[in-house]
Amino acid sequence: MRRGLILVLVLLVAGLPAWADSPLRHAGVDRIVAFADVHGAYPQLVSVLRETAVVDDSLHWRAGATHLVSLGDLLDRGAESRKVLDLLMRLESEARAAGGAVHVVLGNHEVMNMVGETRDASPEIFASFGGEDATREAFGPRGRYGKWLRSKPVIAKVETSVFMHAGVDPAFSDASLNDINQRVRRELSEWDAGVRYLVDQKLIGAAPKLLDAVEAARKEQERLLSSPTRHEPDVQRNALLLAPLVNIGYSSLFAPNGPMWFRGFASWSDEEGGPKIDALLTKFKAERFVTGHTPQGDGQIKERFGGKLFLIDTGMLGGRFFPKGQPSAVEITSSGVKTIYAN
């Protein structure tokens, strides 16, 4: 039976809906501006975009061929998460028309919202989407924001810089940049397929919370595998369809050392991290990593390993979450990397 289930899994994954293929590598770029971890801090993001001359006074694109990179965690905590998304979605099309680009890489909070985990959403955030259920619907596979985010990568390489939210743990995976992106996309597609089955069976509502979906999947899988017809192909297929929900904690979406959550880039000592960063950059044919995810307590961008890593989560939202936080960005040109603060 186990060999049969594995075979069904292979066939199932092969048959999942195709993802939009976001470009991974971008060359011929003269100027890059990157920021991290907005967390709904709309006024602070606007101040960064103005300080870096990315937008004009009317908040329209004015940066020509510049590439703007968001390192994830646009959402949660701050009240204006929806305004942040709407702004970047509009700038994405305006930048494209001007010969530039907006790259939005996924953070763990985008992934959380896409799978119904809204524990860090404030009442103000729920209200901006029309309620808690409406918020989860908006980030589902059919929602406006869910569709948009599902087209985004986890990692983007622009010129010689690799941009991602958290980091790469060599102990978790030795995959290529493209393979890391494809794994996250596959796991999100598998999650959506499992939830769709549960909804069709009327076992959960149309916009379930993460834990409700996981528990419903566990019970249904147990029922299927203990039924008299458990050896039938359709039953095996349905049981296997639910496995990604039951085992979501082991996926790269939620594994503590996976690409959405890993904090080693910030916590490695110079002695431990130096050789690992060198090996990763050699493998990915890059000059530097630029990441967010781990807030810098003093609100300052950190350069590590001789300029091979920049940690740029400076707690943009500020307030009780990040008392010393401030809005910031890095600008990368042929002259090097420049840190920018917008007070």
| Structural domains in the chain (count) | 1
pLDDT at 9 over 70: no
pLDDT at 12 over 50: no
Establish if 8 belongs to a structural domain: yes
- Give me the CATH number covering residue 75: 3.60.21.10
3 state SS of 140: coil
Establish if 120 belongs to a structural domain: yes
Average pLDDT on 259-263 reads 97
The pLDDT, as a whole number, for residue 22 is 41
pLDDT tens per residue, range 25-44: 687 899 999 999 999 999 99
Distances (CA, A) of 326 to 29, 203, 209, 261, 278: 27, 45, 32, 22, 30
Helix and strand counts by DSSP (H, E) for the chain? 13, 11
Establish if 26 belongs to a structural domain: no
The pLDDT, as a whole number, for residue 253 is 97
Establish if 295 belongs to a structural domain: yes
The pLDDT, as a whole number, for residue 14 is 39
What is the residue range of 72's domain? 2-14+31-341
pLDDT tens per residue, range 289-299: 999 999 999 99
CB 180 within 8 A of CB 168: yes
Interatomic CA distance for residues 30 and 159, integer angstroms = 9
pLDDT greater at residue 219 or residue 21? 219
The pLDDT, as a whole number, for residue 24 is 61
pLDDT at 21 over 80: no
Interatomic CA distance for residues 112 and 126, integer angstroms = 15
CB 305 within 8 A of CB 274: yes
Establish if 229 belongs to a structural domain: yes
Establish if 141 belongs to a structural domain: yes
The pLDDT, as a whole number, for residue 230 is 85
pLDDT at 13 over 90: no
The pLDDT, as a whole number, for residue 25 is 66
The pLDDT, as a whole number, for residue 11 is 37
pLDDT tens per residue, range 142-187: 999 999 999 999 999 999 999 999 999 999 989 999 999 999 999 9
